Every structure is written in C-alpha cells, then in structure tokens.
Amino acid sequence: MNNNEYLWMEDIKSNKVLEFVDNLNAEFNELVGDLRHTIAEGISKYYNVEKVDYAFGFRDGVFILVNTGKVHKVIRYTHDGELIEIISSDKIGKEVMFLAALPSWDGSVMCLFYTTGSDRGFFRFMEVDSGSVIYEFRDFLSQIFWLDNNRYLYIRAYRDRPTPDGVKPPAYRVYLRELGSDKEELVFGEGLPTNYHMYVNRDYRLRWMYLNVRRGWTATRVYWSRFGDAYGWRLLYDAGENYAFASGYLGGKHLVTVYDGNKLGRVVGVSDSKYTTVYQEDTYPVSNAFVYSDKLFLIRSIHASSHIYMLDDDGLREVRLDIDVPITLRNFGWTSRHLFYIVESFSIPSSLYMFNEDFTGSRPIFSSKVDIDVVVEEDFVESHDGVNIHYFMVRNRDRDAKIALVHGYGGFGISMTPSYLGYILKFIEDGGVYVLANLRGGCEYGEKWHEMGMKEKKFNVFYDYLAVLRRLREKGYKIIGFGRSNGGLLITATLNMDPEIMDLAIVGYPLTDMLRFHKLYIGRLWTTEYGNPDDPKDREYISRYSPIHNIGDVSRYPPILVYTGLHDDRVHPSHAFRYVAKMRDLGAKIYLRTDTVSGHLGASLERKKEEYVDILSFIYRFFKLGDGGA
C-alpha cells in the first residue's frame, strides 16, 4: 500500500480531513460515552488539587504558577508569608492555559505567557499591583529575560519563516526590547544557522548573565556578559559536540557544567581563558548545578530520583530532605533571601518549598496532599545487549489487578522521573499498576545514556522498552503501552516489532512517518536527534523503524487509541491521521480521538481533563477495573 496516498491529510483545514476527524471522533464517542461520567467523578479528587507548575523568583518572593485542575492562577508569595492571587486563566478566556509568569526583579511588572495549547501564544506585560495591561503581542513560545523594569531580552523563535538574515527555520535570534514598544534591536545570533536554539540565565547576585547556545540537544557554546549589558556577549566556553550550561559565578570564576569525558557532568571554572575542574562526577549524573550563597549546589540523579548536594570548603555533602520516596526536584530559583525549589513524586502533587538560610531544612510555601496509599518499587531488566534498564512500579498497597500501564519516552535527553500522576491515580486506586521505564535516549544515567538512543542507535530504545514489557509479562501482567509525542513513536515502532506484546496501546500526539517528519513544522530541528531522512545513510536506518512504513499483520495488533490535537503546531497531526487511516484500511482495531481546539500542549485544564477521562475510559472499556470496567 502506497503511503503517499494519505498525504492529503497534511492539509488539516480541508473539508475532507475535517470530515475524517468528525467521523472518527463520533466512533470513539460511541465506544466510551457511557463510561465518561463515572471516570470523570473518579479522577476529580486527584486531578482537581492545587499543584505548582512553575515558580519564578523576584527580590521579595516568588510568583507561583498554580494549576488547580480547573484554572491556572498566578499567586505572589512574599517574604512576610503573604499569598496574593494576581490573575487566573478564566479571566482571560475559557480555553486559556498559562505557561509562564515572569516578574521583573522588583516584582512591579510581569510578563504572562498564555495560550490555548498551541506553541503560539500571547506575551502579556502587566502591572502587578493594578493588573492593568501595558502591552501584548503574539508569537511562538520562547523566553523573556528581564534586564530591568523597562528593558528585556526576547529570544524569538523563527519556526514558520526565515530569520531577517535569511536563515531557514527553525532558528532563533536575541532581541533587545523596551516595555510597551514594538521597536527591537538584534543583539545576538545574526548568521547563526538552522537548528540552533538558546536560553539566558544569570548568577544569583545579578552580576553576570549567560547565553547558552545549543545545536539540537548536544553541541553547546556558552557566552557571557555583565548583567544588563545586552551588547557585550563574549564566548565563555565552547563544549564542542558536548552538552553544557552556565552554572553561575564562584571564587572569581564563571562556572560551566559540561557533559564530556564520562558524560556524567563536570563543573569547569573559567577565568582569563583558563579552565580548571571544580567538580567531576564519577558515579551518578548531575542533572543540574548552580551557585547560590557562595556555594555550589549539585542535583544528582540516582536511578532517576533527585538528590541535592552542596559543595563548599568542607567538601561535598547531601542536603537531606524529609521525604522517603523517589522524588523529582526541579525549578530551583532564588529571592534576595532564600533558595526555593519544586518537589513532586508519583502521589505527591508538585509543591513549592523554600530552604532556610543555613540549608539545614526547608519549609513548604505552597503544597497539597491526596489520600491514596501507594507502593513504589524499583527494578532492573536486561536489554538485548546486556544493558540494565531501570523502571519504577507504582501500585495500590492493597489491590493489584495485574494490569500494567507502561509509560515510555526515550529521547531528546529528557529524563523520565517521578512526577505527580494525577488522573492515573484513579487507575491505581482500582488495582492498575503504573510503570515508568527509564529507557536509553533519556538522560537518567547521563548524556552517554542519551547518545545510546540517538540516530542509528534508536533501536536500543525500542529493545529497552520491549525488555520491560517482557519482564512484566513474565510476572503475569496484561500490558497497556503508553507514550506521547516521541513516546508515541516508541509505542508504534515497538508494536511493529512485536504486535502481540501489548494487550492495549495508547498513543498520544505521535510521530509515525519518520521519512517526512523533517518537512513538517519544526521537524527539521529533530534531525539532530533522529538523523536526516534526506541523507541516504540516515535514511537507511530510519526507514527500518518508521512506524507507518513497517506495519505488519494487523490481526496480531491489540486495540489502539491514537489521540492528537488539530492545532498541534509541534508534531503535525497528520502523523496521527495517516497512521490511523492506513491501519484502518488494513483492518486494524484502531480508534482516533482528535481535540479540535487544542495543540501539542493541550488547551484549558478542563479540556485536558476531558482528554484524560477519555484515555481512562478507553482502558476501562477493555479491562475490568474497579466499578468502571466493561
């Protein structure tokens, strides 16, 4: 069957595509309709709890981006303990979600980035106390970096058009802008080729700022300038083909964390073009490193769980946290007085904590709890080449229905670590088991772990996932494969390799045509991770796993749900449409759910809840769980 006969589905505005979407949505609705109410009620107590999505420090406290399950809120916390709501998403629109709330250092003005799920959204600048809007513009999600109350750096993402200097998208440029004005000045990036992206960070004393420029997900150059000087960028460190990032300033040296050598993380001190190793990791990967209060803090990932250490004149010591389960620590930041962070685990909603001044303890600033008794277990299984693959199992202490939802990703150096499960806790409450697999392609065991799942080594990721599935089969579990985006590629490719290994498959916002991904939206950027299908050498190995090109006997495949968003402007929805259309033409039992409002990130929190309800309804249609199964 010729795959090109489905290319008409790339025109997502055509009546033919919209009719296809409507028809398959109606079919899916008929399949799960009567389960939705029960499932929705069951997940509310886990989904509609307050969670901290992000936190942004300013001089006198923190701006907290809170997710209630119904709306996003921006809440300002100050050192005197006061919590004040600044704005909620429903005040702007029904389908709105907040992604960032960036205050100036004195906290008087804020840039709010909001969207309806698309990567293109609105940058709204507003006075914090009055709530009045100063200025607003629309563009793709990128970074705003405040220099003072009036000036900021804007990293513009050129995703659908060339840069002013003629470089094809995707590409990035840094502009200096003034609050309330359309005028801007290019200050960095002219001539920088396609596939380079960047972000700015700073040291905690506001002396220096750093520009981290990366080709794809590895090769990095770090530049520096005095804080506030938008024109003075100078090369600080060239990491070659290695990933690196600026970590601050300590003892008269700029610090850069680089993943060279064993690729577990090395902190380098740079002064007068001389380089010294400040810290070399030899056991577990460093996932983050930064300077605060004249101390170097290191976040080490020990079997995909976060541990924080402090390096000072007394050596390296762990900063103990009063949590006895695997956790993820993220979003470290600072005020003029304190260091803060977000912590979460499988049954712990993401919460904001703040260290006391001597780092002997920390206290919750914004946190929630849910009432469920889960057990978290960890294990390893040997992959096809003898490499051990770690995975978490999260189960109800008192109930095990021997049905496992196995979540995988394996790409772009993204570590799959303990995060609050929300709606999946309903599945666990009813006896399901959630499994999180730490596959190669991620960064759970360092940058080398990432590289072992890139390009021609991509098959390692699929074999790692298969090894986990087969171990669970040996333990007597029925298997639900689950992956989203690059994880959707994982599930569809793995199904082709062993169609009978799963009893059900759930595939979200997937890539399925790996010979055309680079021609759609920002897919060209991903050639740094997957390889370039236009290069015959790369095309040879990509074509061997591209899901839509390697479908086998569909009578052996389990029921499959593919879900996507019509306005996904990151992974083109035609990946989902074409795969489903071809599988259906071959006689597969496959369903499509398309949200006609949302994009890759979803849309409003209520709309995301509908998506989650439908995912669980699909599972409960095929498996007897709790009181909601068929």
The 3-state secondary structure of 243-285 reads: CEEEEEEECCEEEEEECCCCCCCEEEEEECCEEEEEEECCCCC
| pLDDT for the residue numbered 500 | 98
**pLDDT at position 19:** 97
Give the pLDDT of residue 629: 45
Token output for 609? 């809840």
Quick one: pLDDT band at residue 56, thresholds 50, 70, 90? very high
Q: Is the pLDDT of residue 1 over 70?
A: no
The Cα–Cα gap between 56 and 132 comes to: 20
Residue range 231-256: average pLDDT? Answer: 97
- Lowest model confidence (mean pLDDT) among 15-29, 575-589, 615-629: 615-629
Residues with a catalytic annotation lie at 485, 568, 600
Give pLDDT tens digits for 23-32: 999 999 999 9
pLDDT band at residue 322 under the 50/70/90 scheme: confident
Mean pLDDT of the 66-85 span: 97
Average pLDDT, the chain: 95
- Tokens matching residue 157: 């993402």
Any idea where the domains of the chain sit in the sequence?
15-45+371-622
pLDDT score, position 121: 94
* pLDDT at residue 98 greater than cutoff 70: yes
Residue 164 has pLDDT above 90, yes or no: yes
Rounded CA gap, 318 and 38, in Å?
45
Q: What pLDDT does 118 receive?
A: 86
Map residue 10 onto helix, strand or coil: helix
User: Strand 315-318's sheet: what is its strand order?
Assistant: 286-292, 295-302, 305-312, 315-318
- The pLDDT of residue 627: 55
Confidence band for 2, pLDDT divided at 50, 70 and 90: low
Cα 457 from Cα 344, distance rounded (Å): 32
Q: Are 126 and 81 in contact (CB under 8 A)?
A: no
Burial class for 385, CB neighbours closer than 10 Å (0-12, 13-18, 19+): exposed
pLDDT at 630 over 90: no
Stretch among 98-102, 488-492, 602-606 having the lowest mean pLDDT: 602-606
Quick one: tokens of 75? 């809440």
Residue 379 pLDDT > 80, yes or no? yes
**pLDDT for the residue numbered 46:** 98
DSSP per-residue codes, 46-72:
HHSS-EEEEEEEETTEEEEEEE-SS-E
How confident is the model over 237-254, as a mean pLDDT?
97
Of all residues in the chain, the percent with pLDDT exceeding 90 is 92
Stretch 79-96: mean pLDDT, rounded? 95
CA gap 549, 557 in Å, rounded: 15
Lowest mean pLDDT segment, chosen from 235-244, 497-506, 597-606: 597-606
Chain segment 275-289, per-residue pLDDT in tens: 999 999 999 999 999
pLDDT, position 205: 95
Q: Which CATH class is domain 15-45+371-622?
A: alpha beta
Quote the pLDDT of residue 357.
Answer: 87
